[in-house]
Structure 1
Amino acid sequence: MDPSDTPRSSPAQPAPETICARPNLLPGSSSTPLVPAPQLSVVYRFEGLDHVDAVYQGQADGFVYARDGHPNASALAARIAALEGAEAAAVCGSGMAASAAVLLSELGSGDHIAFAEQLYGKTISLIDRELRRFGIEATGFDATRPESLAAVLRDRTRLVMVETLSNPLLRLPDLPVLAAMANKAGAKLVVDHTFAPLLCRPLELGASYVVHSGTKLIGGHSDLTLGLVAGTHEEMDRVRRLASTFGLSGNPFESWLACRGLATLPLRSSRCCATALELAERLTRSSAIRAVHYPGLPDHPDHERARTLLHGGFGAIVTIDLGDRHRADTFIRNLGQIPFAPSLGDVATTLSHPATTSHRGQEPGLLDRLGITPGLIRLSIGLEDPADLAADLEQALATLS
């Protein structure tokens, strides 16, 4: 007989394999941790069949499987809902997953969505290309011109989707007017609020859904990928079910990281907005720059609307137009301290080139209409000293002359 087959006389002395395989439960404690811990378990244990029935039927609190929900997502969702003045919120695997969850939960074959042509390039691809495969019609409009929306609304329009501040030219639509128009037509307004957390509450302005890429300013450290949606209890129940079915849910560790980032969001937002305004004003004085786009500048086409709708600043993004691709590339290569990193919202300042990153692959005609030129540079302002950032930018601009 193999010695390993010999039964053990005492179950109190399990084999090493058993000791290694079975997890210990956490020790009990009359005190609680100050910082909630990440709950990384994929699955949860039950006392028996009645217990699992009660959890599934909502008669008892609990979790079953991480794709359906977990404590860290619940904690993050509760804070996002409170932040947006919503009844509830949901956590998805990315900003695009959050947008997809909303679109797929509201739209079916034969339905129509009106989308702002100023949306993020991947969002346009999702709406105007992928959703068409499901028999969903889509029409673009200029979100800064309400009459443009009126011209595309149909009987089957179910959603209207815009951004609070557009990517990358930072145009600000009249959200209350668009919401009223959508609601009158029997549609819901969806607002991608990624560029402007804390600066306004789209739900209070008439939107039905607010969507965030939590990867950006909410996470704040370029170390997580998440999406967030807020709305009514009924809407969020539907979004969560769909996110689970399509595999769009966010994971525990990154939900925990997002809660950590959220704690400093007000401080970061205030500092970045102030620095962005200061730099935008300085950059307008540079002869090397064709145009500076920032809603805090008096000559921005939506400046007065921004003064009315936004509170606490005009955002952390400043976009400049250097004229052509060669000048943009020269500028990028001479910015030793500000990296070319195609995202935004980090604690450190970064830059991106929309024509080759966020809007890559879009129709040239659309880029022309939006003013997204090969010379456009999008700056995501971080927490550095404004004078240091100004010096970095000015020395790179000097190389263009």
Structure 2
Amino acid sequence: MDPSDPSRLSPPRAAPETICARSTPLPRSSSPPLVPAPQLSVVYRFEGLDHVDAVYAGQADGFVYARDGHPNAAALADRVAALEGAESAAVYASGMAATAAVLLAELGSGDHIAFAEQLYGKTISLIDRELRRFGIEASGFDATRPETLASVLRDRTRLVMVETLSNPLLRVPDLPSLAEMANRAGAKLVVDHTFAPLLCRPLELGASYVVHSGTKLIGGHSDLTLGLVAGPAEAMDRVRRLGSTFGLSGNPFESWLACRGLATLPLRSARCCATAMELAERLGRSPAVRAVHYPGLPDHPDHDRARSLLQGGFGAIVTLDLGDRGRADAFIRHLGQIPFAPSLGDVATTLSHPATTSHRGQEPELLARHGITPGLIRLSIGLEDPADLSADLEQALAAVS
């Protein structure tokens, strides 16, 4: 009997309770929908025991339970793997869940991880605080100075973690040199690529894993929370299994939304990078701004490296230093249309204050060492007209002055 035959679901004269409780399959169609639909089911049906055995063994296509995988996550993972030039990719509930999946898959008690001190604040907390409870040691280094990595590598170093563009000062690491040093020491390089999707391919530069917060530029609309990991097939099998065991998997609807956002990523990236470059140059000429951090500017300390590493722009983030917390607060309060919203990657421009949001709770000496001051403002550039954005920024800076 055809398992989709409605007569199989309810007897001919079923009670109303039975009719309401049992689902009816969608009508068959010889013309499939142009846009794949969200597949929201938590669980999938099987014809019998041989069928479920075949799906679990990979001998038949199919899904079992949404925490282990579902069609929308598979579709998103395939596209991200293709973008990164990876053999495989997986979807997780957030960028931090994606990072945690890699760390937990690769590290055990007695192991060591070297991390860039310029990482996102929550990532540093995960590595340098939480993992220590499990007997995992950690050491920080300056990702823009490869020699500092050499000084912290150990026999038990299993991972080295950096960002393509650091948060929030947009420092650019020498990825090929760091990958070579890590691999020579028997470690794997993990690159958080959240700030620079499409601008380079870390796996081709020697990285073993690429991690994204899909919440940001890939999703692109501030309406989903997801994380992504891409890497070699064998290693990703372990990361994928661990993600399911720890319950880190991403859900179907947000995976579907991310596929929608991914469709316009190249257009959004090009537009935002071009506008960011223009605004960085304008802000750099303002007497009210103490410093502008953007790798496209010639005075950025990693400008030459960014030019050789990045393709198609220098990113959608511009960070400026207004000197102190009071001036930063006045700037935020006088902006007309740019909201203070502690995230990034939306179609509209937003701003954040790293010292009180992304890097809140970090050690003061670490913040000071890396120039994360109370006057620092991080702008995430959107799709608006550059002249309108410039006018809004200039009137806020005039109020600060």
Scaled by the length of structure 1, the TM-score of the pair is 0.97
Mapping 1:61-76, distance limit 5 Å: 61-76=61-76
Tell me by how many angstroms 1:235 deviates. Answer: 1.3
Tell me by how many angstroms 1:236 deviates. Answer: 1.2
Structure 1 regions of 5+ residues with no counterpart? 1-9
Runs of 4 or more above 2 Å deviation: none
Q: 1: distance between equivalents of 2:12 and 2:159?
A: 62
State the one-letter code of the partner of 2:60.
A
- Name the residue aligned to 1:251: 251
State the one-letter code of the partner of 2:349.
T
- Name the residue aligned to 1:169: 169
Q: 1: distance between equivalents of 2:69 and 2:11?
A: 36
- Name the residue aligned to 1:347: 347
Is 1:242 aligned to residue 242 of structure 2? yes
Aligned length: 392
Tell me by how many angstroms 1:400 deviates. Answer: 1.2
Q: 1: distance between equivalents of 2:262 and 2:11?
A: 48
Q: 2: distance between equivalents of 1:43 and 1:82?
A: 27
- Name the residue aligned to 1:142: 142
Q: 1: distance between equivalents of 2:309 and 2:11?
A: 68
How far does the alpha carbon of each residue in 1:214-242 deviate from its partner, in whole angstroms, 9 at most, with x for none?
Answer: 00000000000000000011111111100
How far does the alpha carbon of each residue in 1:62-112 deviate from its partner, in whole angstroms, 9 at most, with x for none?
Answer: 100000000000000000000000000000000000000000000000000
How far does the alpha carbon of each residue in 1:333-355 deviate from its partner, in whole angstroms, 9 at most, with x for none?
Answer: 00020000000000000000000
Structure 2 regions of 5+ residues with no counterpart? 1-9
RMSD of aligned residue pairs (Cα, Å): 0.7
- Name the residue aligned to 1:386: 386
Mapping 1:279-294, distance limit 5 Å: 279-294=279-294
Is 1:370 aligned to residue 358 of structure 2? no
Q: 1: distance between equivalents of 2:349 and 2:400?
A: 21
- Name the residue aligned to 2:189: 189
Q: 2: distance between equivalents of 1:11 and 1:200?
A: 58
How far does the alpha carbon of each residue in 1:173-197 deviate from its partner, in whole angstroms, 9 at most, with x for none?
Answer: 0000000000000000000000000
Q: 2: distance between equivalents of 1:390 and 1:336?
A: 12
- Name the residue aligned to 2:4: none
Tell me by how many angstroms 1:13 deviates. Answer: 1.5
Q: 2: distance between equivalents of 1:159 and 1:11?
A: 59
User: SS state of the match for residue 90, structure 1?
Assistant: strand
State the one-letter code of the partner of 1:119.
L
Tell me by how many angstroms 1:11 deviates. Answer: 3.4
How far does the alpha carbon of each residue in 1:228-276 deviate from its partner, in whole angstroms, 9 at most, with x for none?
Answer: 0000111111111000000000000000000000000000000000000
User: SS state of the match for residue 152, structure 2?
Assistant: coil
User: SS state of the match for residue 229, structure 1?
Assistant: strand
State the one-letter code of the partner of 2:79.
R
Tell me by how many angstroms 1:327 deviates. Answer: 0.2
Mapping 1:263-302, distance limit 5 Å: 263-302=263-302
Q: 2: distance between equivalents of 1:309 and 1:23?
A: 53
Q: 1: distance between equivalents of 2:60 and 2:355?
A: 51
- Name the residue aligned to 1:226: 226
Q: 2: distance between equivalents of 1:349 and 1:222?
A: 11
Is 1:316 aligned to residue 316 of structure 2? yes
Q: 2: distance between equivalents of 1:232 and 1:327?
A: 47
- Name the residue aligned to 1:400: 400
- Name the residue aligned to 1:3: none
Q: 1: distance between equivalents of 2:102 and 2:190?
A: 8
User: SS state of the match for residue 342, structure 1?
Assistant: coil
- Name the residue aligned to 1:7: none
State the one-letter code of the partner of 2:365.
G
- Name the residue aligned to 2:87: 87
- Name the residue aligned to 1:209: 209
- Name the residue aligned to 1:180: 180
Scaled by the length of structure 2, the TM-score of the pair is 0.97
- Report % sequence identity: 88
Tell me by how many angstroms 1:297 deviates. Answer: 0.1
More displaced stretch, 256-265 vs 26-35: 26-35
State the one-letter code of the partner of 2:238.
R
Tell me by how many angstroms 1:365 deviates. Answer: 0.4
